[in-house]
Structure 1
Amino acid sequence: MSSSTFFSTSFNLYRRISRVGCNPSVIPELQKWMEEGRRIKKFELQLIIKELRKYGRHAHALQISEWIVGRSEFTKGLSDHAVRLDLIAKVRGIASAESYFNSLPEIAKVEPTYGALLNSYVTANMTEKAEALMEKIEELGYARTSLPYNQLLTLYKKTGKFDKVPSVLEQMKRKNISQDKFTYNIRMNICAAMSDIDGMEKVLLEMKYNPMVNTDWSTYGNLANIYIKAGLSDKAQAMLQEMEMKINQWDRELFIYLITLYAGVGNKDGVNRMWQSLKSAFPKLTNMNFICMLDSLVKLDDLEGAEKLIEEWESAVVDYDFRVPNILLKAYVNNGLVEKAELFVELALDKQRKPICNTWEILAEGYLKTMQLDKATQAMDKALSIMKQDEWKPKPANVQALLKHFQECSDMEHEEQYHKLLRDMNFANKEYKESCDTQ
């Protein structure tokens, strides 16, 4: 189902859930919705889960998935197990995902659930487990499409095991499994990782001459991104022109991707043109759309344009999400404009808007850069005061800088507070350990 269909059928409920932001649970919003006499259909919840996954809100997506399981009015399908397994892996880790998979009845251990577990291994770069599971998938006859082979190719690309790629392609050929656009795109990315631009272009030609494969905008976007990273701006621009020729007015993702890529080649006109096209196609823009555009303007060093965009966003915003202005605040700090960042936050507070943890840490970073250590401490204290265990964690460099400051000024209370913070949150990160060991 398209994004337009999603927003027309489920937008009101999704909007409520999206407002929860970093809060621990979205379940109260579902319960409140039902208490108001509104019905919730399973397909709407599935669409909401899909949207949450798209934006990386896996914990909230898992909560809804588990809520569905606990409701007798919803039938449970095999695909529900696969989605839930994927979310468990992302939220609770591989061990929990394996435990969930093993607990499933045999009737539920089918192609989608095996595929979800394989994808979890690939995401975690667990080569041995992925290869062993792939053997099991082939043994059971579930390797009937290119999907599991694409997952293996992705794993080998991520782990640099390029020598294993030919054997996967040969296995597909023996089983008469055709390469699809994803296979070709992964192969092109592997060539790029090997700095083999000629080889990548040969794969593109092979793809174009395959009548069973549609070379769509995602392929050209992938190539443009590769050329950008390789510093081949002219070739990247040519791919972006190919992308524009394949624009679908209902595809919000395409406009966003083009904005990002045009920023990558330093094409400000392209960025602004795609932004205007996006606004024409989608009068109701999301906070994430504004975040993308702000990121692009900042990348182009267009702070004036970013400031105007913030004004546009504030005039149209329904749900004030501080993640949006945080992009501008970071740019201020990175450009030595700490006073402008400070003033923005002060004005937001005057309007009863509530900065999030990251907002205060951005200010703290600015104060650290300008050696305003007392202000940095106050800002980080505010971040810690609203912190929740399952969301923001302070950056190691900031913690280390403040711990050093507390030691130098003999602020034992703050020093112990920060050490306790690290212990309580079980930060095993090497940088955190070093920040403690050096104090």
Structure 2
Amino acid sequence: MCKTQILQQHARRILAHSNRSCLFRSYGTVSAAAQNLPSRIVTNSNQNAHITPVLESWQKQGHQVKPSDLRGLIKNLRDSNQFSKALEASKWMGEQKVFDIVPEDYSARLHLVENVLGLEEAEKFFKSIPKNMRDYSVYATLLSSYTKSENTLDKAEATFEKMRELGFLLKPSPFNSMISLYGQLQKLDMVEKLVREMQETKVECDSPTVNNVLRVYADTCKIKAMETFKTSVDEQVIKLEEDTIVAMAKAYLRYGSIEKAIEMYGNVAGSEKEVYRLWDEYKKETKVNDNGYRTVLSSLLKLDDVQGAEKIYEEWKPEGPKLDMSIPSLLLSRYYAEGMEMKIDQMVKSIRKKRYEMHFKKIKERLIFLRRVIVGMGLKVEQMVKSIRQKKFKEPLILLEAREAKIKEMVTFIKKKRFGMHLHKLKESLIKLGQIVMLVGLIVAILVVIVGALVINVAWNEWLIQQHPPTSYWKVRILKDNPMLYYFLFVRK
């Protein structure tokens, strides 16, 4: 009995017991709709068998082949790396035309042809696709195939330009494919050109594109460009892949920034050994400051190495002049989150102790400096006296006397200058005081004149009244015109 007949018998047996799920062996996740199709092989010996006869038998039995079922079957086979079976099912779907084929079906088949039969066959299949079916998904799949190899750069660029002409460059996937290829070729200028084009055309970077661009910058050690690009996409909250983080950490190491490398490794699970290795190297190469301790503690706590972080915290000696509370706060936050009250109390005591040690260290340093200054001054005087005694001529004494005389002259000059300065200030104060006195006198004189004129006016009017007593009409007139004069003439009496 030939192999085909055996498979047909086997297919009939499956169809007769299609409701018994135990007959199917799982090779990946299949949708519930695809469970109605013979999408699984019964035994390991039949894994290489063709599935076309099974599909044909299924159709001959009068079963309806739904588009979602068949597409789910193809996707399941592709996801489980059974590309040959997936291609066979896709080809059968296209030939049987049991339902209308859409561009996504051609795109899936193009991808399978390239994986199973190679790029040359994929190009032939692409040419056979009707032009009205060559949409974005088809061109994106073809471009992805071209960008896998450096040898097909020209074809990749031509396909990318064709997509530009057709208006298909509205998603990040084509840009990501070209960035990946240019990154392999170390063409950083082309990568930056594509990034600028995405920004100008408002094409938002997705996770694969961001990781790809950062890896390209890291591999070429373009630290500033890498940090600028990362800052520009931080608002999107895109998670970086471990490969990207490691590449960035290595770039920082090549750049000589061990502290930044330690910070990056804090985001890579299981990289505690690398953090410790870099920390030891960092301590050998430079004097560790507060920023260094903050970075390594943060990285170790991200890696859940609390004990390691505690040991390094014990090594920390604050620089001052103020205690940097952001360093112990890292551990305090962890203790608080885990409800470790005893650890919190110990940390508070430790902070107090480190603050005392920091102040004591500063005082000690100042005292040592002062002692050195005093000792140094004493040595200079002693050396001068010794040198004078050793010489027989009196020139050093003459020089000392001359220097002393100059110092006395300078002191006298300073005293005179200081006295003159005080005298000048006193003179200025007296002038100001005189000006104030003159102003006050002038004001008093003006007031005296005004009061005298008023008194004379009142006296004159009193005399006139005595000589010529006024009538009631004139009293009313005076009251209206000059109430004060009326008061002095008639009311005051």
Q: TM-score range by the shorter chain?
A: 0.3 to 0.5
Structure of greater relative contact order (alpha carbons < 8 Å, 6+ residues apart): 1
Instruction: Flag the structure with higher helix content.
Output: 2
> Whose Rg is larger?
2
User: TM-score when scaled to structure 1?
Assistant: 0.46
User: TM-score when scaled to structure 2?
Assistant: 0.41
